[in-house]
Amino acid sequence: MSAGLKVFKDNGTLLFDTEKITYGLLKSGYLSFQLNWPRLDHRSAQLPPNEGSSFAESSIADPIHGFSVTGAVAPIVFITGSGISCGSSKSGDTTIFYFIGASPSTKFYYFDTMRNNLNGAGLKCYDESGALTFNSLQRPLDIVTVIQAPPPPTPTVWNGIKLYGVPFLGATRQATRFINSGPYYCVTRVFVSIGSGEYAASTTFSRSFGQGIMDDMSAPGSPCPSYGYMQAHMDGAYGAVGGIYFMACDAARTTMVISTTGSRNYFDIPTDRYPQALVIKTDNLPFPFN
């Protein structure tokens, strides 16, 4: 049995074990605008909607926010403030993380395997192969709780299709604009209380489901793009003061089809699985960092 150090939290759960690689905070800050992703318009009702060639880029574009890092190995990103993870890209050693439904007010906390790139007095531990497993100069990842998204409410059935007024039980629906120059979104949110302080959340995956025409979702000065179209929706979670929100909004790069299917409702919501939010407290984390 090799030598090692194990540290436990007050509740008896393990915080880190130097025989295992520990995640540490490598970067924190505010998201920034990255690019616009145009939505896709169905070119003709006579063209099959399941083929990419049937769509053309729309004049409606979603502002995508995010941040970049170098040397990502096994990243986990937590956010405080509105946003849903919608992918990443990599060029060389640089990775960019993307979020829809976000703004420059959204905070991010990027954790990855601990690195031996910080100077100062501290404790550094290595495994038998010489790989760094713990560096006390970095804040270790401390998951305080894991929360599953609420199920949708009881559906109504229309032509054999299950229709849901909101994707989460207890959620509210509202036309929302995340930045002044961006489009309005059909947004549903539900708050899950945890306790005092500020939290950040990271979802393990996001679901995609259908959204019917939301002709009841007018917004000041302009209706939502979904006012006249059936399109895709996606869900995720983000942290806030006192707890977290599960949120769903117009999907990034969604197709837009004129159809009456599921008007004012959501459909094809996967109910055999629900997103889980990993939650951390941010009160004692350095911000901005690195």
Domain shared by 136 and 237, yes or no: no
Residue 196 lies in a domain: yes
Domain shared by 182 and 130, yes or no: no
Of 123, 142, 161, the one marking the end of a domain is 142
Q: What token pair was written down for 123?
A: 């404790």
Q: pLDDT band at residue 66, thresholds of 50, 70 and 90?
A: very high
d(CA 290, CA 287): 9
Q: How does DSSP assign 149-217, residue by residue?
A: PPPPPPPEEETTEEEESSSSTT-EEEEEESSTTSPEEEEEEEEEEEEEEEEEEEES---EEEE---TT-
Domain shared by 137 and 150, yes or no: no
d(CA 152, CA 96): 32
Q: What token pair was written down for 104?
A: 């420059």
Residue 103 lies in a domain: yes
Q: pLDDT band at residue 9, thresholds of 50, 70 and 90?
A: confident
Going by C-alpha positions, the residue among 140, 122, 99, 126 that lies closest to residue 9 is 140
pTM value > 0.75: yes
Going by C-alpha positions, the residue among 74, 247, 272 that lies closest to residue 171 is 247
Q: What whole-number percentage of the chain has pLDDT above 70?
A: 96
**Number of domains forming the structure of the chain:** 2
Instruction: Please work out, in degrees rounded to the nearest 5, the angle formed at the alpha carbon of residue 163 by the alpha carbons of 158 and 165.
Output: 135
Domain shared by 176 and 270, yes or no: yes
Going by C-alpha positions, the residue among 250, 227, 280, 218 that lies closest to residue 61 is 250
How large is the average pLDDT for residues 70-97?
Answer: 97
Domain shared by 91 and 200, yes or no: no
- Longest CA–CA separation in the chain, Å: 69
- Domain residue limits at 95: 6-142
Q: Can you tell me which residue has the tokens 């760094």?
A: 132
User: For 136, left (φ over 0), alpha (ψ -120 to 50), or beta?
Assistant: alpha
End-to-end CA distance of the chain: 36
SS3 53: helix
Q: Can you tell me which residue has the tokens 């990419």?
A: 52
Domain shared by 138 and 10, yes or no: yes
Domain shared by 179 and 275, yes or no: yes
Residue 288 lies in a domain: no
Residue 53 lies in a domain: yes
Going by C-alpha positions, the residue among 31, 84, 37, 85 that lies closest to residue 182 is 37
Domain shared by 161 and 123, yes or no: no
Q: What are the pLDDT digits (tens) for 198-244?
A: 999 999 899 999 999 998 888 777 778 878 889 999 999 999 999 99
Residue 212 lies in a domain: yes
Domain shared by 99 and 55, yes or no: yes
Of 142, 165, 181, the one marking the end of a domain is 142
Domain shared by 23 and 133, yes or no: yes
- Residue 184 near residue 222, CB atoms below 8 Å: yes
Taking residue 47's Cβ as centre, other Cβ atoms within 10 Å add up to 12
d(CA 160, CA 269): 14
Domain shared by 137 and 151, yes or no: no
Q: What are the pLDDT digits (tens) for 14-59?
A: 777 776 768 999 999 999 999 999 999 999 888 888 888 989 999 9
Domain shared by 93 and 163, yes or no: no
How large is the average pLDDT for residues 87-102?
Answer: 97
